[in-house]
Structure 1
């Protein structure tokens, strides 16, 4: 079988230009698909253009990752309802009888199911529906890497795919100033952004996680743990639920002001104003909350319009439902959500810029939260137009309600290339490299094997899956046979082993088994099978000119010879029996002799 006999297709494959993982495998994917007649045009885009491409659906295939804990499966799948997300366009042309609207309704319904047995079955059905559409090619499970200088101790990997918890790290020796190179969404760090936790890009989640806190936190095995609330109670109320939170006493913001219910309500008033809440419609809680108030005891009370099982879990998110000091708002406690909103001007993103027609965004005066670290200052890279941070400095919050961090100063430093990060580690300039992006997998492996006396290499559990998303709303990936050919034509095990030095493992399902309700074995297995790929695109799909793959021909010929041989043997044996000369006599059988 030659490529000439395959149906020729061209794909626009979109990747982020700063993503080191995708950079090392895109050539393997191109070579794999060329073997089955599919030409891949790779487009490496900057962050802003990549996001625009997600929104407008001008791609055939796009590399991304699932969101990981604590967002999977409920928030990640609920986000598919938002046209700004790549999955919205990807599922627009699914095979009948499944339609985008039907699938999204199922996702909405399951989140209102409070019976855990029924909920589990509904999730399994949803995951199977998605799997059968062959929209997603799962590649590998990401175990987020952390490289830690041995002069530091007690670092524990986050249960959240996007945060780097450093408050419990202890100083074994040397300076209490720690220098860090953090990952930024799978890419090299460029900026922490304005550090406004009520908005999104370019604000970095890990920085918000150091500065700000919410009512509750996400602990080991998904346990909801106390944060700015010490206790809570969720009960049925009207047609929905009422959650009452007892707030932690004695908590101070970084500016010395008090945490209390008035500040909690101020933040929710701005985040969930009728206008601004539209920007947060990618997940359920902002859409379900109908009221938030303080009672006479100073408790914070939330009410939902419908039953909503993920409520507490979604309150653990690093943004947007976390709390800034009242002094950070333009007019303090008197800040009006419409006239002095905490949103930054121009930071809603192009999809949502119309929202500023109805409100005035005043932003936050400074990033002031209750978290274990507070912002000190930053310097910008010269000639970067204040878009690249050369150095950002945080300090420990000495009035923190929990254990005050051992790290006195936390410095984030910018590096242009992964080789620069590696060199800085070798020269003792860096203490930590956190997350995916600052180093390649080969570099992480090299440090693990050759610098183990200086550094610990720690890897978390699989929280995310790296995936290829195929657009069912655009030719040629609107054809499910083309999507299946792509899936079976990519030898991910081979290039994962080659490029990641055994650090990552191939996966066959959209979401990790560790995610709630996702421990279901889905079939067929979306793995490499070149014979299937050739059959689908070169000799057995809907558009194949009647050709058939070499493997299929060989199989048919062998089967034909076996059938003919057996037929001749049976006829020959019957003929011998009729002539009184059986093929096997009793004596010969007893002696084990051949007739």
Structure 2
């Protein structure tokens, strides 16, 4: 199409309004302590999908593009881009005079190395590569220009370049120090530099005075890994923590924070959806009638109203209303315990049948929700036991290896706010988060929408995917929850991102 991204001047102006710029470094002062519920275990961008990684690493790394709390896409390490060869190639003009934290220059070589690594053997070991398979290669045009050749168009690619696996990494540092070292000693171009990492304890960062977007106003960030919600809230009340990030705070503890004159709750609609997915391979949940019966046995609207205190909304598919592909016409299966009993009888399931529900042990809200779900199931003759796991064990061993009980918790951020990001990972055969289901027709639908540039047609297919998964009852859809932050009133300039991707350049702590 030879279409240069139009309105580039306005676009760059928007970037300047989103990130504070400064001609000379400003001396930063002050420390901010953040409570995050999970240690990702590796700080390498290609090793993770976790929003808790992004809550930290958005301050360490930059992508070619950037998307802030307003969800608008602006230039990042690429100052501009243009589509060439009918969209088969994207040319990026790179920001000049940018350095990695170790002094290594950011340039076209670093961009090529990043994507060669992501799409190569190292990337194959992690969960991120499948998000970027539309990229065939990255070719260097000159020191400050790269061409990204595409196998097929990807309408979400520019957003994907703003996060996770596409974060630009330093070639020489990784080659000299090794992959294992990079996992625990990350180096990027971001507003804060890595200082130290104590697994399961904390990660400390310091201001990058030479940051291309302007020096941060804070001098230090200390992210503490506090998995127990009561402990995190107590630390916030005591002033030892300035910010508690989602999904730490259970609904039941909101009044504690709201009743403290030194604290406040900041709640924004987010991409996070919760469901209890089904083991469709083994046991009674291999029968779609049983799966639909379980869904009909649970009053999800009451759960949202009573347990979430309205801090969320019921869902019919595994996405929220902000997601591209959301279908407002798709309604959840109704709460109908008598209908559920009828389906169970048709499936030959006798009263007293047992199932196991696997959940994240540190998710207090889900623990309460599943207790209620177990009560609902008891009323239709199913006895549910709840098995909590340490989060990393559940996510890295139990689910991907297909070792779950009949139902298992899946919390998904869908940070691109595009249903493809969720649906492909959850439903396509062979994907890490789809240990049980293989459906050629669904695979075809998922694959068919990815190359489409026709937005309306792509949206139609995504809605069809939502309907297909609902018809197969692949999960018990629960809710799209708000992102709830507990914030000390000493914190100034904090804008709550809906996707947990904290960029704390402009924040101060009194």
Are 1:441 and 2:251 counterparts? yes
Q: Which residue of 1 aligns with 2:223?
A: 412
1:231 Cα shift? 0.5
Q: Which residue of 2 aligns with 1:321?
A: 166
Are 1:178 and 2:26 counterparts? no
Aligned counterparts, 1:86-485, within 5 A:
176-182=30-36, 188-189=37-38, 191-200=39-48, 204-219=53-68, 222-236=71-85, 241-273=88-120, 275-279=121-125, 284=130, 286-296=132-142, 298-318=144-164, 320-331=165-176, 343-344=179-180, 363=182, 366-378=185-197, 380=198, 387-389=199-201, 391-415=202-226, 417-437=228-248, 439-448=249-258, 450-451=259-260, 453-485=261-293
Structure 2 CA distance, aligned partners of 1:365 and 1:194? 6
Coordinate RMSD, CA, aligned: 3.0
1:331 Cα shift? 3.3
Structure 1 CA distance, aligned partners of 2:200 and 2:127? 29
Q: Which residue of 1 aligns with 2:503?
A: none
Question: Structure 2 length normalisation: TM-score?
Answer: 0.58
The answer as to whether partners of 1:330 and 1:363 remain within 8 angstroms in 2 is no
1:284 Cα shift? 4.8
SS at match of 1:306: coil
1:218 Cα shift? 2.5
The answer as to whether partners of 2:304 and 2:310 remain within 8 angstroms in 1 is yes
Residue 310 to residue 392, structure 1, CA distance change in 2 (3 Å) = closer
Gap runs ≥5 in structure 2: 1-17, 22-28, 351-510
SS at match of 2:284: coil
SS at match of 1:204: helix
Gap runs ≥5 in structure 1: 1-164, 169-174, 183-187, 333-341, 345-361, 381-386, 546-595
Q: Which residue of 2 aligns with 1:151?
A: none
1:372 Cα shift? 1.1
The answer as to whether partners of 1:261 and 1:294 remain within 8 angstroms in 2 is yes
1:441 Cα shift? 1.6
CA displacement, residues 128-184 of structure 1 (integer Å, 9 cap, x when unaligned): xxxxxxxxxxxxxxxxxxxxxxxxxxxxxxxxxxxxx9999xxxxxx71111101xx
Structure 2 CA distance, aligned partners of 1:542 and 1:192? 41
Structure 2 CA distance, aligned partners of 1:388 and 1:446? 26
Question: Structure 1 length normalisation: TM-score?
Answer: 0.50
Structure 1 CA distance, aligned partners of 2:333 and 2:184? 50
CA displacement, residues 222-263 of structure 1 (integer Å, 9 cap, x when unaligned): 5321100010012335xx710000101122221233211122
Aligned residues: 325
Q: Which residue of 2 aligns with 1:131?
A: none
Q: Which residue of 1 aligns with 2:298?
A: 490
Structure 2 CA distance, aligned partners of 1:534 and 1:251? 64
The answer as to whether partners of 1:277 and 1:287 remain within 8 angstroms in 2 is no
List 4+ stretches of structure 1 deviating above 6 A.
165-168
1:281 Cα shift? 7.0
Residue 505 to residue 522, structure 1, CA distance change in 2 (3 Å) = closer
Structure 2 CA distance, aligned partners of 1:506 and 1:196? 34
